[in-house]
Amino acid sequence: MDWIAHNFRDLAEVTIGLTLLVFGADRFVYGASAAARNFGIAPILIGLTIVAFATSAPEILVSVVAASGGDPDLAIGNAIGSNIANIGLVLGATALIKPIQLTSATLRREMPALLAVSLLTVSLFLDSYLSQIDGLVLITGLLIVMVWLTRLALRSATNDPIKVDFEAEIPRNVSTVAAVLWLLVGLAMLLYGAELLVHGAESIARKVGVSEVVIGVTLVALATSLPELAVTLVSAVRGEYGLAIGNIVGSNIFNLLAVIGVAAVIAPVELPPEVLTLHIFVMVAFTLVLFAMTYDYDGKNRVSRLEGSSLVIAYIAYITYVITQNV
């Protein structure tokens, strides 16, 4: 209790920042997708690009705020930790509640892109330094992926379940003025929430005596992954399985390319040893597991409750190890 009282201001900043990020992300996605529909953009294109980018907005803005404030380690940890949390916690918890059916051909074509992006990130990390050139490579990769996703959306079969899911979920009958207003309100909440979360998290890290990377892969990553958790859970409960996994795949791609890319361009960073010896390889391992599940390795065409529980247990084990080794 004494520790909580002593750190009340920091905890309040993290809590308020987290709340603003969750609600801000929801309104930002709502406004961006509604505005895009009003401009005549196809729902599946909105889902694969705009919504995927918007659900990564908390991570991107936290990255910008942290890197601009001279703490790129926090941004790197946030990106890697969010990808681990998206697969281990978000997908695992969702499958535990309701097994996720794997029926989208579009989604299966998206998975190799996530694997390729993960391996690209690892290759840039191998020299233990993330330069502005590396950041530009990642941002260029983001532009290439955006173009590829656009072409993928346009070629998707009309009967692909993910296409139907996006059609049902993209808001209808929202005026352009209202959509833009919600987009701006959401963006303002995201910006202020990111400022509060980063400031509170950095202060806690200093007082506890752990690195910004550790705070990034644990507290901040968990906080910024909550919007994905909400979207994925709701999608699975509604039976929109393509959205449930598609949201995770798209978000992880944007986390690596946009979040780390932007952080490196703003503030090149010498990577702490634990990033290479632990965190990046845990992220790749979770990605490979997701790749195997998506390609129906067991012939059941779904992510089962057993697989979901295994992912959650693995995530808890990872977080427990990080905390016990550093606090």
Domains and CATH numbers, the chain: 70-170+199-326 (1.20.1420.30)
pLDDT band, residue 322 (cuts 50/70/90): very high
Of 47-56, 194-203, 244-253, least confident by mean pLDDT is 47-56
Of 244, 296, 304, 236, give the one whose Cα is nearest residue 99: 304
Q: Which helix (H) or strand (E) holds 100?
A: strand 100-101
129-147 mean pLDDT: 93
pLDDT band, residue 194 (cuts 50/70/90): confident
Q: Indicate whether 19 pLDDT > 90.
A: no
174 Cβ contact list (under 8 Å, min separation 6): 30, 34, 37, 38
Predicted structure pTM score: 0.86
The backbone region for 267, taken as left when phi is positive above 0, alpha when psi lies in -120 to 50, beta otherwise, is: beta
DSSP secondary structure letters along 12-46 = HHHHHHHHHHHHHHHHHHHHHHHHHHHTT--HHHI
pLDDT band, residue 72 (cuts 50/70/90): confident
Pairwise pLDDT comparison (167 vs 286), residue with the higher score: 286
The position carrying tokens 């361009």 is 265
User: CA–CA separation, 306 vs 301, rounded Å?
Assistant: 14
**Tokens found for residue 157:** 């079969």
Q: Indicate whether 190 pLDDT > 90.
A: no
The position carrying tokens 């530009």 is 136
Q: Indicate whether 31 pLDDT > 90.
A: no
pLDDT band, residue 49 (cuts 50/70/90): confident
